[in-house]
């Protein structure tokens, strides 16, 4: 930033000085040109008077600093102090023509005889002849000599401007560099107020997010500890009784079954925690592929059919092909968790319906059930980890309390939107909206799975 400010300030200074130098040079150039012309005019007037009084001999006495030419009315050269006669007629020269017509003429041009740039002034004498004076044009050199002191001053000013520009840039940037990002209340520039306000808002948001993350971390740690401790305590208790030999043969099989059940519950919990950890860390997984949610849902319902039969819940699949881009295994887990919850929290004789449909550039998957529903005050929290609406009922139906959290993170991973609609005792509808990758027309229907 210092370099940018210095460069801009220095360029502005150079531009101003160059413009002033060019203007001054132009003024000097014009002034010197006018001075030379005025001198030629005055010398020509004196020479004309001397010529009329003393004749050609007077011209021979004049200094040869200026070229003097005496021209007759017909353009014949009568005298020239620098070029020997004879010469071509000169009445075609613009200054001579001007003198013949108007009494005087002037011009600046390259001399045909010397090849130099010359300033000419011609004056008509009282007898009608023309007296012309000329001198080499050295206006540029004279102007440069006249402005040379100014040029040195400009160079000095440029050096001073560079030093001042650098110092100004440093002074402007120093308060910004010294700004305390943790506590940016102190600043000397009113223009920094919007930036400071945004920094304060950002710091407050970061502090709130850190506090929320800390609360979530503590809550997650407590929940994980509790969820892990419960099956481990059961397993430890059963194993202790069996090791002490106080378990009869009849109870041995029952205790073994309980140990197996709690072990499976523990394994499921650890698997779900690992899945969430990978989603939280955005760990690289398999490459995305095109997945038909209709076929995927059919496979999920097939795997849950025995569980649904035990719960006396009917499973239905409706809609048609619906292709999305995603990771097959993660999409399977999402739909499985939604359908598993719909079965667990349903009523005997209830039903679970999965519907897939493609609308324009999106794919919509809904899982609806006729279960116990979710009270409105709990609907915002059901996607939190280990959150349970009815802990006693959740304990009886099993589960880790992480299923909907996996659904939420999976939806975020696939850029999908999730929506929950539920009423107590009226069932629940979970809707996932994905961006589509294909539009396939298919007939829709409804059939038990």
Domain ranges of the chain: 2-142, 192-280, 289-448
Cα–Cα dist 240/170, whole Å: 76
Residue 147: its H or E element: helix 139-177
Give CATH superfamily name and number for 2-142. PAS domain (3.30.450.20)
Cα–Cα dist 261/69, whole Å: 130
Note the pLDDT of residue 360: 82
Note the pLDDT of residue 439: 47
Structure tokens at 179: 């700004």
232-288 residue pLDDT tens: 777 777 777 777 776 776 777 777 877 777 777 677 667 766 766 665 555 545 678
156-185 residue pLDDT tens: 777 777 777 777 777 777 766 666 666 666
From residue 21, how far is each of 132, 143, 157, 429 by CA, in Å? 35, 12, 12, 81
Structure tokens at 73: 């009315």
Give the chain's count of helices (H) and strands (E).
11, 13
Sign of dihedral through CA atoms 38, 41, 45, 47?
Answer: positive
Cα–Cα dist 359/320, whole Å: 11
Please check whether residue 367 is in contact with residue 342, taking contact to mean a CB–CB distance below 8 angstroms.
yes
DSSP for residue 260:
H
Is the pLDDT at 318 greater than 60? The verdict is: yes
pLDDT band at 447 (very low <50, low <70, confident <90, very high): very low
Is the pLDDT at 297 greater than 80? The verdict is: yes
Could you list the beta-strand ranges (E) of 370-409.
none
Note the pLDDT of residue 25: 72
Q: What is the mean pLDDT of residues 40-67?
A: 84
Note the pLDDT of residue 76: 85
Cα–Cα dist 59/254, whole Å: 146
Cα–Cα dist 349/351, whole Å: 7
Structure tokens at 270: 């650890």
Partners of 312 in the beta sheet? none
353-412 residue pLDDT tens: 999 999 888 999 999 999 888 888 777 777 776 666 554 444 444 555 677 887 888 888
Share of the chain above pLDDT 90, in %: 15
Query: Burial level of 340, CB count in 10 A (0-12/13-18/19+)?
Result: buried
Note the pLDDT of residue 190: 67
Q: Which residue has the higher pLDDT, 128 or 239?
A: 128
Triad 399, 384, 312: Cα angle to 5°: 35
420-440 residue pLDDT tens: 998 888 889 999 999 987 544
CATH code matching the domain that covers 289-448, chosen among 3.40.50.2300, 3.30.565.10, 1.10.630.10, 2.60.120.10: 3.30.565.10
CATH for 192-280 is: 1.10.287.130
Nearest CA to 5 out of 158, 167, 187 is that of 167
Triad 387, 390, 393: Cα angle to 5°: 120
Cα–Cα dist 201/185, whole Å: 12
């Amino acid at each position: 930033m210092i370099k940018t400010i210095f460069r801009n300030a220095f360029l502005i200074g150079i531009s101003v000085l160059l413009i002033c130098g060019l203007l001054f040079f132009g003024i000097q150039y014009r002034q010197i040109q006018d001075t030379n012309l005025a001198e030629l005019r005055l010398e020509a007037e004196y020479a004309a008077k001397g010529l009329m009084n003393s004749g050609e001999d007077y011209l021979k006495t004049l200094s040869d600093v200026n070229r003097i030419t005496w021209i007759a009315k017909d353009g014949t050269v009568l005298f020239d102090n620098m070029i020997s006669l004879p010469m071509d007629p000169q009445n075609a020269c613009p200054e001579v023509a001007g003198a013949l017509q108007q009494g005087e003429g002037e011009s600046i041009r390259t001399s045909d005889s010397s090849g130099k740039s010359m300033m000419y002034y011609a004056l008509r004498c009282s007898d009608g002849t023309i007296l012309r004076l000329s001198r080499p044009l050295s206006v540029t050199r004279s102007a440069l000599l006249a402005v040379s002191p100014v040029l040195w001053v400009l160079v000095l000013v440029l050096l001073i401007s560079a030093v001042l520009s650098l110092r100004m840039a440093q002074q402007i940037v120093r308060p910004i560099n010294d700004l305390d990002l943790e506590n940016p209340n102190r600043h000397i520039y009113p223009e920094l107020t919007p930036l400071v306000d945004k920094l304060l808002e950002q710091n407050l948001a970061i502090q709130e997010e850190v506090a929320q993350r800390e609360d979530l971390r503590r809550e997650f740690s407590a929940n994980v500890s509790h969820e892990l401790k419960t099956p481990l305590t059961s397993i430890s208790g059963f194993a202790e009784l069996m090791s002490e030999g106080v378990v009869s043969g009849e109870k041995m099989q029952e205790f073994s079954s309980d140990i197996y059940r709690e072990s499976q519950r523990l394994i499921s919990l650890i698997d779900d925690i690992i899945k969430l950890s990978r989603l939280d860390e955005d760990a690289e997984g398999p490459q995305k592929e095109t997945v038909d949610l209709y076929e995927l849902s059919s496979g999920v319902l097939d795997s849950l059919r025995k569980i649904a039969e035990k719960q006396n819940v009917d499973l239905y699949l409706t809609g048609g092909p619906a292709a999305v881009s995603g990771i097959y295994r993660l999409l399977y887990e999402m739909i499985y968790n939604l359908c598993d919850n719909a079965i667990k929290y349903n009523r005997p004789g209830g039903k679970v319906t999965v519907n897939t449909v493609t609308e324009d550039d999106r794919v919509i998957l809904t899982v609806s059930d006729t279960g116990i529903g979710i009270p409105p005050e709990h609907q915002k929290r059901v996607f939190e980890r280990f959150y349970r609406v009815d802990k006693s009922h959740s304990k009886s139906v099993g589960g880790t309390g992480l299923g909907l959290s996996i659904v939420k993170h999976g939806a975020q991973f696939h850029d999908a939107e999730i929506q929950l609609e539920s009423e107590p005792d009226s069932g629940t509808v979970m809707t996932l909206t994905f961006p589509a990758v294909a539009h396939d027309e298919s007939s829709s229907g409804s059939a038990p799975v």
